[in-house]
Structure 1
Amino acid sequence: MKQFVLFTLLCVSVFSCKNEDAVENEISKIETDFIVERFDRAFAEVKPEGLSDLKKAFPFLFYNRIPDSLWVERMQDSNQIMLNNETDKIFEDFKNETHEIEQLFQHLKYYDKSFTEPRIVTLTNFVDYRNKLAVTDTVAVIAIDNYLGNDHEVYSGIPVFLSQNMKPSQIVVDLAKAYSERQIFQSRKKTLLDEMVYFGKQLYFKDKIIPFKTDAEKIGYTPEQLEFARLNEGVIWTEFVEKEMLYNTDSSLPARFIADAPFSKFYLELDSKTPGRLGQYMGWQIVRAYMKNNDVSLQEMLQTDANEIFNKSNYKPPK
């Protein structure tokens, strides 16, 4: 009997892998139509007398209340010139990033038939790492000075738990997150479970939209941090359940387990060894379990209530 069960599980696993390969093969054939417009380079090269032409080419980047004199000052600003030089070194051709964006768009077009490729515009924004990029139906703006490399000297004053993801490979990850936020509906985020499932939806969206990225890249962990989460999943879940956190509306819980932080705050000795955002990781596993155990589409899941997802997930941490 045991051998039969193992054989059945193996067959299911093989069939699932073949099905996923077939889907990915179909997605790889989807055509995309976009170019990356390097506003950062155009601004670095423009002279004051050419500013009006640049404004015509990128009207959505200029605000009427900001006089041209301030833009001319920025052209001559030493910090701006430094960023021009550094972004030019790191993103000389933007070839790899463009390829990953193409893969992202192929997957978005497969799972959302209404999706059309936007204009892709790169710029610098004085390392405003809280606002790395923005997407709309027609434009995606990427502040590439936030992706120079996690050990770049420009980031010396930024906490490591934030700067560790300020590298080129995370551009497409952050784009996927931005697109997930436009598609997720969740009527409330009152409890810790609500927050966990919301971010679990984001991460599962990345599973489908950027499957060429590792799990560590999707969640923004180092490989070691991801391994800690995997090895301690049962312990983490036990803490959440035994301390009755899941349905708790205490506003401090998202700060402890959801928000960017150097570590998660269980108020235990092991805290300093934990990565931040473990609530997001656990929500990810809940949503993965829900999708495994229920026949629903990606779009349906993104619209489903957090409690329904949890109740129908049959989630159990690995032993």
Structure 2
Amino acid sequence: MKFVYRLAFASLILFTACKKEKTWDVDVKEQTVQLKIQDISADFFNDTIPLTTLRQNYPFFFDAKTPDATWEKQRREKTELSIYGQSKKVFGDFTQLNSALTPMFQRYQHYFPEYKLPTIYTYSSGLQNLDYPVMYSQQAGLMFIAMDAYLGPKSKLYDSIGVERYMRVNMDINRLPAQSVDAIANNIVTFSPRNQQFIDKMIYEGKKLILQDALLTDTPDEYKMGYTPQQIQWCIANEGQIWNFFVEQNYVFSSDASLQKRFLSVAPFSKFNNEIEQESPGRIAAWIGWQIIRNYLKENPKVELKALLEDMDGAKIFKDSKYKPALEGDNTTNYTTKSINGETYHFIK
């Protein structure tokens, strides 16, 4: 059954819508963070709570055009209750979620002291919000987390609706902080619609990813990109060839809108239209944009994070980054690795 409050959430969000000199190792011990986490679904599926009370407590949760009878039926639907039950097994009493998000929000307060901490609402979407499991509005001070998007890549519920393998990589609670920062970045990193060149879009995605570097200093690059370790390794090994392809095809300063879908959209692989494409991960140009920004900060270590995330000219950032990866070479020296659950993950030095 389609979750009818999905539109209400979306509307709320849309309309409120390295050199040693540069380091993200800042002292945030003085940043006091007490997160407020509320489980909407705990109340929604408690049929002893009147619907009128739910509407008063969670006005953003309900689509006003939906009849009360539809809501009442949904509150008792066995499938919906089962999905929520499995979600609660993963999240428990939210202690793990609180512990995972608190350090990130300490850094958030450090870099953006003028922004208030959001109230965090968790909910079960009935498997409807798997594409965008975290939504954030800085203006409204709200964050929404679809718990059923983190049941684990091997969840039988995902089998039942045919969730593709490349999407399941992120469906792990350990990857939730990275997706939370991505939702924040979508809301606070500025982008001018006038900037339609491919380099502008790469730089924009790179800025969003650099926010993850700043707020998630102990998180592997795989989590930040939504990649597997093998995909990050492929990117590192082929960085020069990827960039050379963009240059040779005259894509860098192109305004061809199709490049967005081919190289920046979430997909099982990037569309090179040659024999290597299915070896590549999706969003490869976002990863390149990230390396450009990282290089820019090496060359310009005094640039403040907030200034970088504003609408700085993408072409100028690219020029000042002096980005030119070697066509043939080993870039693994820029990374340290760490084993997590038997897999080797990558961390930028």
Matched, 1:317 2:318: no
Spell out the pairing of 1:83-232 with structure 2 (5 A cutoff).
83-127=83-127, 128-136=129-137, 137=139, 138-156=141-159, 157-187=162-192, 188-232=194-238
For residues 84 and 278 of structure 1, the distance between their equivalents in structure 2, rounded to whole angstroms, comes to 34
Counterpart residue number, 2:307: 300
CA contact (8 A) 1:194 1:307 kept: yes
For residues 183 and 44 of structure 2, the distance between their equivalents in structure 1, rounded to whole angstroms, comes to 25
Secondary structure in structure 2 of the residue aligned to 1:196: helix
Structure with the higher fraction of residues in helix conformation: 1
Task: Return the offset for 1:20.
Answer: 4.6
Counterpart residue number, 2:76: 76
For residues 24 and 199 of structure 2, the distance between their equivalents in structure 1, rounded to whole angstroms, comes to 30
Secondary structure in structure 2 of the residue aligned to 1:45: coil
CA contact (8 A) 2:45 2:76 kept: no
What TM-score, normalized to structure 1?
0.89
Tell which structure's C-alpha radius of gyration is larger.
Answer: 1
Equivalent of 1:289 in 295, 309, 314? 295
**Distance verdict in 2 for CA 1:29–1:212, change over 3 Å:** farther
Structure 1 runs of 4+ off > 4 angstroms?
Answer: none
CA contact (8 A) 2:35 2:98 kept: no
**Distance verdict in 2 for CA 1:28–1:213, change over 3 Å:** farther
**Larger relative contact order (Cα-Cα within 8 Å, sequence gap ≥ 6):** 2
Deviation string, structure 1 residues 64-84 (Cα, Å, up to 9, x no partner): 322221111001212211112
Query: What amino acid maps onto 2:303 in structure 1?
Result: V
Percent identity, aligned pairs only?
29
Query: What amino acid maps onto 1:35 in structure 2?
Result: K
Matched, 1:278 2:284: yes
Query: What amino acid maps onto 1:174 in structure 2?
Result: Q
Counterpart residue number, 1:234: 240
Deviation string, structure 1 residues 263-288 (Cα, Å, up to 9, x no partner): 11212212121111110100000011
Structure 2 residues not aligned, in runs of 5+: 1-17, 330-349
For residues 135 and 33 of structure 1, the distance between their equivalents in structure 2, rounded to whole angstroms, comes to 18
What TM-score, normalized to structure 2?
0.82
CA contact (8 A) 2:295 2:322 kept: yes
Structure 1 residues not aligned, in runs of 5+: 1-11
For residues 209 and 36 of structure 2, the distance between their equivalents in structure 1, rounded to whole angstroms, comes to 27
Task: Return the offset for 1:56.
Answer: 2.4
Moved more, 164-173 or 57-66: 57-66
What number of residue pairs does the alignment pair up? Answer: 302
